[in-house]
Structure 1
């Protein structure tokens, strides 16, 4: 992977590449990109955990919200999951949907969009016994079936892996942080004058202001994606789960260096230029930019919740089961522990937020369903 990036740098007239280009190559290069290669990414044997890897109860609870929305006929019974990972979340949601609302399940369909051939193979292993489920490599495959969309679109830790560009304010001047090589052919940062028209336009359009010395990750790709999604949706709900901050939080001093980092074997790596192609790269997302970009394509902002608050609202506590098992490893004991871990203050749910956007669905109707 490093060689591919070095070639891209050498072929650029500035002998440097943008961070968005670097991330696109490091994560999604068809031969050597982190997500595209074979190898476990999620769980104990991988590089990071997700909420869905804690217990099936997470997916069951989210699925119960989907089922309520579909049963109320607020949208058509079509669910799209963006970034399917290993397929465990999809399997758990579909099994819950089939159990709780068999009639809508039989009429509906669950699509999983996953760009990685390796992950698509893992998903197929998980879902091969399930009906009304398809895994596709791009959203375009679904758009060919539905010129306009009426349903639910869900993602969990999807946007945090989108490529971003890096800018920095120094002495009242905006610079772009790019990637180049040093005399030893190592990948290093370089500061360049900010000349990209696209970046300058984004900064102006979204009203980005930086303090002196602040590094900022420009989420152009995320905003472009959510706008395109909103343009396609006729009647639908977009539910996004991820970690990130609102604008007022990004301005705080401890976010001055930005949030781009890597995860390698469950270790946080501060230098994203290390372990190229071998580790996950991620940023905290800009929730206000996600919301504003959605509004530009008529996606209404319904609400934003901390994940544990949303799970409580969705009825997670009601899934606790009484038991008199003394065995701490019984299925009931493990299930109850998983519920508590998802609600524990300072636990995994405290780091995540859920943003709900909608189009063509009445707010009053959502109030009774979410």
Structure 2
């Protein structure tokens, strides 16, 4: 398939070629085959040349995709109040994973200051040097912000992850007449190609409904995201032991419960690539210059959290979460009579909450220890669907 996409600059093309050579050498060192998860890890995170570790703009109008915080500050303002209600039961601090341009942190910090929500520290775990530099510039006026290279060993407070789980490397599996195969990556005639080999039993064990799926069914499994949830659980448990205070994680992303993730209509999987606001399915196109993502299996994430000792606090659509968290009240702080100011905000709220936009595809998973979402979230909760 020939993709008709914008041409990269010579420097960007050179960086992509360097990454392609690095991945090809990795494949050669491993007898001509690496897992797709390893390919995706290198494409996104290889030092200096991976998509998230290189220097290209990723977010906003000049990047490859736009996230909710880039659409409107109302998103961060609403999350500030939701986080504030959880921090009141815990410790007044926030830990954000993958903070993008820093816009979400900026909006939360600004709203906390304006609304009198106590927030003593805001920590960011960021793997991208380029994004960390942008964040440091954006958040220069907030001395309570600090950057970390990894999970703290123990933590109490609120953890935020907006579109973090979807960027974690996934394994690809396909069902054959003889059983499940792992779809990995080889290098042939100067090109990356998919190569299948027998699937490890541990990987097969992570495929829900595996006996019911038809021959030829291709899907993703999420061992790295499952591992992330386990580490998150350990961190919050250690925080509770250390401080006597629990904590909660609010994870927002696009995806489905397992009963919808593995429907017949998704027999080709959910893997998707984003390049200059174009979406396409080819993960081998210009490695390092495009994002590679997969939808999140929220059932797997919830089970990983609970099996590692966390409590399910809530699962709902992004629309239900934001509206229950008073997004509408935030909008009405701008008078509808001031059409020039109000209409762009109303359009942004529509994008965040409409079922045709982000409202239903994006979900919110809240897990934690020794804290609870306010009772008003009960009517929005859809944990039973997991």
Q: 1:134 to 1:295 in 2, by over 3 A?
A: same
> Whole-Å Cα distance in 2 between the matches of residues 289 and 369 of structure 1?
22
Q: Which of residues 84, 96, 100 in structure 2 aligns to 1:67? A: 84
Aligned length, in residue pairs = 348
How far is the alpha carbon of 1:231 from its aligned partner? 1.2
Q: Choose 121-130 or 260-269, whichever is displaced more.
A: 260-269
Matched, 1:126 2:134: no
Q: Which of residues 262, 279, 301 in structure 2 aligns to 1:251? A: 262
Residue correspondence of structure 1 range 284-363 to structure 2 within 5 A: 284-319=295-330, 320=332, 321-325=334-338, 328=339, 330-361=340-371, 363=372
Secondary structure in 2 matching 1:227 = helix
Report if aligned partners of 1:242, 1:285 keep a CA contact under 8 Å in 2.
yes
How far is the alpha carbon of 1:121 from its aligned partner? 0.2
Secondary structure in 2 matching 1:212 = coil
Secondary structure in 2 matching 1:36 = coil
Residue correspondence of structure 1 range 121-160 to structure 2 within 5 A: 121-139=133-151, 142-143=152-153, 148-160=154-166
Residue correspondence of structure 1 range 22-101 to structure 2 within 5 A: 22-70=39-87, 73-101=88-116
Report if aligned partners of 2:180, 2:204 keep a CA contact under 8 Å in 1.
no
> Whole-Å Cα distance in 1 between the matches of residues 376 and 90 of structure 2?
14
How far is the alpha carbon of 1:133 from its aligned partner? 1.1
How far is the alpha carbon of 1:208 from its aligned partner? 5.1
Question: What do residues 85-137 of structure 1 show as CA deviations (whole Å, max 9, x unaligned)?
Answer: 110110110111112125x23xx211111011111000000111112111223
Which residue matches 2:286?
275
Unaligned runs of 5+ in 2: 1-18, 241-245, 379-386
Q: Which of residues 178, 185, 191 in structure 2 aligns to 1:186? A: 191
Report if aligned partners of 1:68, 1:369 keep a CA contact under 8 Å in 2.
no
How far is the alpha carbon of 1:206 from its aligned partner? 6.4
> Whole-Å Cα distance in 2 between the matches of residues 353 and 40 of structure 1?
26
> Whole-Å Cα distance in 2 between the matches of residues 205 and 255 of structure 1?
17
Which residue matches 2:37?
20
Q: 1:270 to 1:206 in 2, by over 3 A?
A: closer
Report if aligned partners of 2:63, 2:276 keep a CA contact under 8 Å in 1.
yes
> Whole-Å Cα distance in 1 between the matches of residues 110 and 214 of structure 2?
49
Question: What do residues 143-177 of structure 1 show as CA deviations (whole Å, max 9, x unaligned)?
Answer: 3xxxx321111100001010111111111411110
Report if aligned partners of 1:123, 1:135 keep a CA contact under 8 Å in 2.
no
Which residue matches 2:202?
201
> Whole-Å Cα distance in 2 between the matches of residues 186 and 303 of structure 1?
44
> Whole-Å Cα distance in 2 between the matches of residues 169 and 246 of structure 1?
21
Displacement over 6 Å in runs of 4+: none
Report if aligned partners of 1:178, 1:189 keep a CA contact under 8 Å in 2.
yes
Unaligned runs of 5+ in 1: none
Secondary structure in 2 matching 1:20 = helix
Question: What do residues 297-316 of structure 1 show as CA deviations (whole Å, max 9, x unaligned)?
Answer: 11111221111111110111
> Whole-Å Cα distance in 1 between the matches of residues 324 and 36 of structure 2?
39
Matched, 1:263 2:274: yes
Q: 1:286 to 1:205 in 2, by over 3 A?
A: closer
Which residue matches 2:375?
367
